[in-house]
Amino acid sequence: MSNFFKATLLLGCLLWQSSGLASDTGWLISPQNDHAKVRLQADRSDPQQTRVLLDIALESGWKTYWHSPGEGGIAPQILWDEPVTDFQWHWPVPRHFEVAGLSTQGYQRSVSFPLSLRHPADEQLRGTLRLSTCSNVCILTDYPFTLDVDGKAPAGFDFAWAKAMSALPQSLPRDMDVRLGYQHNQLQILAERADGWQAPALFIDALEGAEFGKPELEVQGNTLIARVPVSDGWQGDAPDLRGKTLGLLLTSGDQAWQGSAPIGAPLPLPSQSNSLIWLLGVALLGGLILNLMPCVLPVLALKLGSVLQQQDRQRGEVRKQFLAASAGILASFWLLAAMSTLLRATQGAVGWGIQFQSAGFIGFMVAVTALFCANLLGLFEIRLPSSLSTRLATSGGNGLGGHFLQGSFATLLATPCSAPFLGTAVAFALVAPLGELWLIFTALGLGMSLPWLLVAALPRLALLLPKPGRWMGRLRILLGLMMLGSSLWLLSLLGNHLGTMASRWLMAGLLLVLLVGILWRYGVRGVTLALSLSALIGGALLLGSAFTVTGSGNSDKVAWQPLSEAAILQALAQNKRVFVDVTADWCVTCKANKYNVLLRDEVQEALSAPDLVALRGDWSRPDDTIAAFLRKRGAAAVPFNQIYGPGLPAGETLSPLLDKADLLIVLKKAGLAPDNDRIQGEQP
């Protein structure tokens, strides 16, 4: 009898324990994913509503997602075996994660989701939680569960529920003014709050057909200003979002609010006063540096030659000539600003120097530089009718139109050159409001005009040049050869459109025509110059090889792979470092980086390491994928170099003018995983 009583008591205890735990699944672990565990608890003290608390615990370095994951990831969801009604999933405030240029929104370590629903009282809750967790890789895991909500709620449920509910954002208050606007590929948000903003953050709901990047936030007084890049999710331009309603979540310190608002026309955002002044200074310096680039030197030499050819150099005439050239530079930069404005209005690709991707434009520039070369070599003279010459001299100040065109021509040749200051200013200008775009392009033009304006202000600088003499003939030939070098370089760029051999034959043809012209014009006296040009024919063929991508493989031992976002993510998933090089044949700075840095033995060895993936994008010809890649990173010009790795999951952009020591330091830093918790590469 005693044994029977004990057995009955033990069975009763087991049944009581079972019924008490039926509303708690306990921690569920999947054999396919040992980096996460989940638990569901339920309570139905209110007959009209069932409360379910979903707890997710993640290992260090892993994350899951908000209901709008951002540019990658999948939000958690529950697939119910039986229909439920009035199901509501409450989402705590997430945080931002940025990996390999992708901006995502989610949770790290642990998170508790309060859920509420209605279902028949006599039925169990059965379903499957589908959870996406990401670190170096992403794992999609199913957790089947069963909950008996007729039993007693687990101990401490009410406290855990209240704690989870306290982590939810509040509704947007009426006294907070939130306005949304949209312009080309950019969402604009203005939020005014009487108490100001402390460490604000912005999280955005998904919109069909649009993908939002990482917000750029700025606080001015009590106003929060947000600029958010938008694309179509496939590296293309976003649709017009005006008229649509967007849900968003704003935080300030420990406070958070969520709501929705309609998207309207572009907002009159307050100017970034400090940043804009700094960028205008950067643009001035960048424009000034353009005068030192080899692209512009031939035109400066041509300008110098025009001054030397004047027998009577009057101070007033010199001033007018250089002012006209400066006006040509400014007008050309304004033309570039107008073209950028038009392309943005028509959703076209905008970039610095992209006109050199056109075979027609390159051919036109070849013809112009070749004519300048032939003129400087004395093969022909442009003689206008006497009446027109008189008109130009009296109304234009000694043919000021020609000096204006020289300035314009210098600007066209300068666009394939890039520099740290120039790239920063142009990248900002091409995504800035139109007023700021025009200001920055004006500053670029003024910067490039500074040396010309200096001579205009102090004409004595030009008047100090030696008087005309026989030496001018030799100098003119030297200037002609400099212009010939520009023409041959431009011809080499046609190799991407016509083929390498075709461009080399065109070089040889140009040199042959000039050779025949010299012999015909000068006879025996031109033999020396003709022999010099003959020697250049062989050099031109080598030049064609040096300025084409296919010819750079003899000394380049790096196993370059095609550039893509997927290649970066794949390398990060394998804990490898990534070196990104976006280049173009027409980019002079790219060539300087190649021969001065990338082909150095130490750099070649570093880029050939087993744990490094070298990715190269060639922008010599139009390529929407590369244009989108650059635009996503706020770049508008080449060269563009970036390094990723376990220690730099978000990537670090290098200076356009590469430095060997800096490059090697960043490569080393990319391979060092930080000690603190971090989010690594992810699959979108």
Burial class (CB within 10 angstroms; exposed 0-12, middle 13-18, buried 19+) of 519: middle
**pLDDT score, position 519:** 75
**pLDDT score, position 566:** 87
* Cα within 13 Å of Cα(77), Cβ side: 9
Q: Which residue in the block uniquely carries the two structure tokens 């997927």?
A: 566
**pLDDT score, position 11:** 42
What percentage of residues in the chain have a pLDDT greater than 70?
A: 69
CB-CB neighbours of 273 under 10 Å = 9
- Higher per-residue confidence, 21 vs 27: 27
- Higher per-residue confidence, 545 vs 170: 170
Chain-wide mean pLDDT for the chain? 77
Q: Return the structure tokens found at 585.
A: 């044949």
Asked if pLDDT for residue 550 goes beyond 70, the answer is: no
Region 60-75 average pLDDT: 90
**pLDDT score, position 111:** 96
Region 198-214 average pLDDT: 89
- Element of type H or E holding 225: strand 223-231
Region 292-301 average pLDDT: 59
**pLDDT score, position 560:** 94
Q: Which residue in the block uniquely carries the two structure tokens 């009057």?
A: 314
Q: Which residue in the block uniquely carries the two structure tokens 């010199």?
A: 318
Asked if pLDDT for residue 684 goes beyond 50, the answer is: no
**pLDDT score, position 262:** 94
Answer for the pair 564, 615: CB distance below 8 angstroms, yes or no.
yes
CATH fold of 552-670: Glutaredoxin (3.40.30)
Q: How far apart are CA 328 and CA 128, in angstroms?
A: 69
Region 50-77 average pLDDT: 92
Distance of CA 543 to the CA centre of its chain: 31
Burial class (CB within 10 angstroms; exposed 0-12, middle 13-18, buried 19+) of 90: middle
- Give the confidence band of 75 by pLDDT, cuts at 50, 70, 90: very high
Asked if pLDDT for residue 396 goes beyond 80, the answer is: no
Q: How far apart are CA 444 and CA 425, in angstroms?
A: 8
Region 575-599 average pLDDT: 86
Asked if pLDDT for residue 19 goes beyond 80, the answer is: no
Region 276-282 average pLDDT: 73
**pLDDT score, position 369:** 73
Encoded amino acid at 519, one letter: L
Asked if pLDDT for residue 276 goes beyond 80, the answer is: no
CATH fold of 2-168: Immunoglobulin-like (2.60.40)
Region 579-590 average pLDDT: 84
Asked if pLDDT for residue 10 goes beyond 50, the answer is: no
Asked if pLDDT for residue 360 goes beyond 90, the answer is: no
**pLDDT score, position 385:** 46
CB-CB neighbours of 600 under 10 Å = 14
Asked if pLDDT for residue 12 goes beyond 70, the answer is: no
Q: For the chain, how big is the Rg over CA atoms in Å?
A: 34
Is 171-264 a CATH 3.40.50.2300 domain?
Answer: no
Region 578-603 average pLDDT: 86
Q: How far apart are CA 637 and CA 58, in angstroms?
A: 41
Burial class (CB within 10 angstroms; exposed 0-12, middle 13-18, buried 19+) of 187: buried
Q: How far apart are CA 194 and CA 197, in angstroms?
A: 9
For residue range 230-262, what is the model confidence (pLDDT) as tens digits? 887 666 677 889 899 999 999 998 899 999 999
**pLDDT score, position 303:** 58
Distance of CA 639 to the CA centre of its chain: 12
Least confident of 22-26, 231-235, 309-313: 309-313
**pLDDT score, position 639:** 85
Answer for the pair 64, 132: CB distance below 8 angstroms, yes or no.
yes
Q: Which long-range contacts (CB under 8 A, 24 or more apart) does 296-301 make?
A: 296/410, 296/413, 296/414, 296/417, 297/482, 298/369, 298/413, 298/479, 298/482, 298/483, 298/485, 298/486, 299/406, 299/409, 299/410, 299/413, 300/410, 301/478, 301/479, 301/482, 301/483
Least confident of 58-67, 445-454, 631-640: 631-640
Buried b (16+ CB within 10 A) or exposed e, 665-680: ebbeebbeeeeeebbb
**pLDDT score, position 65:** 95
For residue range 603-623, what is the model confidence (pLDDT) as tens digits? 999 999 999 999 999 888 878
Asked if pLDDT for residue 638 goes beyond 70, the answer is: yes
Listed ranges 13-22, 348-357, 524-533, 599-608; the one with the highest mean pLDDT:
599-608
- Give the confidence band of 675 by pLDDT, cuts at 50, 70, 90: very low
Asked if pLDDT for residue 331 goes beyond 90, the answer is: no
For residue range 641-671, what is the model confidence (pLDDT) as tens digits? 999 988 888 788 888 878 899 899 999 988 8
**pLDDT score, position 51:** 93
Buried b (16+ CB within 10 A) or exposed e, 300-315: bbbbebbbbeeeebee
Asked if pLDDT for residue 521 goes beyond 80, the answer is: no
What percentage of residues in the chain have a pLDDT greater than 90?
A: 25
**pLDDT score, position 642:** 94
**pLDDT score, position 648:** 84
Listed ranges 107-116, 148-157, 498-507, 629-638; the one with the highest mean pLDDT:
107-116
**pLDDT score, position 412:** 66
Least confident of 297-306, 385-394, 456-465: 385-394
Asked if pLDDT for residue 423 goes beyond 70, the answer is: no
Helices of type H across 599-659: 601-607, 624-632
**pLDDT score, position 202:** 94
